[in-house]
Amino acid sequence: MRGRHLWACGTLLASVMGTATLLVVEPEPWHPTTAVIISACLVIWATVAVVAILLEHSRLGYRLGIFVLVFSAVIAVLHRISPIWWIAVALIAVSALLTTDPTLGGWVRQRTSAAPVPARAVVLALVLLTIPGLTALSILRSDPGSLSILVPLDLVLLFAYVRRPAFALAAVRIVPLGLAIAGLTLAGPGRWVWISGQLAALPLAWTREVRLAIRPLIERGTKVIIPPELAPAEIREMLEGKG
């Protein structure tokens, strides 16, 4: 159906807003702060998925959208039934129905792009992106404690990794260890979800693929041959003088 991708993306955002509203208005069985964190993560995930689908025709964006729907469904299962719950579940069901076709009417790219981002570099971004929401989801009926501080730090690290400033490589190789240690302050299963996620990010950050994703121009020790006419004038004059 023509325009199915627009309907799928629209209903995905609507389902996320419905679930987020449910959590904010009726946070039980989560602490109100935890419910807000989960809601914020859902909105961020859905936004990333929709942008990736609409602008890049991305299979990864489609899969992230499916993950968001599954995550929302888990929230619905754990939440008590109420009028708002029924609205959220209906939106989730409609969105799931429209995104059943993985091609979204031929919109999602079925082949790898000509210049794909290295797989491990993408996985690292996804790990950093999903850790906060998964941790918050696992903290039931407990005070989130330091989670409200750790989550912004994780997202700032993710933003730095994506934007690739000069310090990004060092940050993604060092900061997750500190965040993992700080995760010991969390309570319940959330502590181990957070620590496991941050420790999983560490080996990925030290891979060659991640280094090249942040510093993609020239690897250390390599040489690039350029035509003589592209060399600076002073170098050409020096070489001509030696000749």
Give residue 115's pLDDT band: very low, low, confident or very high (50, 70, 90).
very low
The per-residue pLDDT of the chain, averaged, comes to 84
Percent of the chain with pLDDT over 90: 51
Provide the pLDDT confidence category of residue 42 given band limits of 50, 70 and 90.
very high
Cα–Cα distance between 2 and 125 in angstroms, integer?
32
Q: At what angle do helices 32-56 and 147-163 cross, to 10 degrees?
A: 20
Q: What is the pLDDT of residues 126-174, one digit of tens each?
A: 999 999 999 999 988 778 888 999 999 999 999 999 887 778 889 999 9
pLDDT value of residue 1: 46
Give the closest residue to 65 by CA, choosing from 95, 106, 35. Answer: 95
pLDDT digits (tens, 9 = 90+) for 171-194: 999 999 999 999 999 988 899 999
CA angle 125, 55, 10 (to 5 degrees): 95
pLDDT in tens, 82-108: 999 999 999 999 999 888 766 665 556
**What integer pLDDT is reported at residue 23 of this predicted model?**
95
pTM: 0.79
Mean pLDDT of 23-41: 93
Contacting residues for 203 by C-beta, under 8 A, at least 6 apart: none
pLDDT at 70: 95
Mean pLDDT of 25-50: 93
Residue 103 has a pLDDT of 61
Whether 144 and 33 have beta carbons less than 8 Å apart is answered as: yes
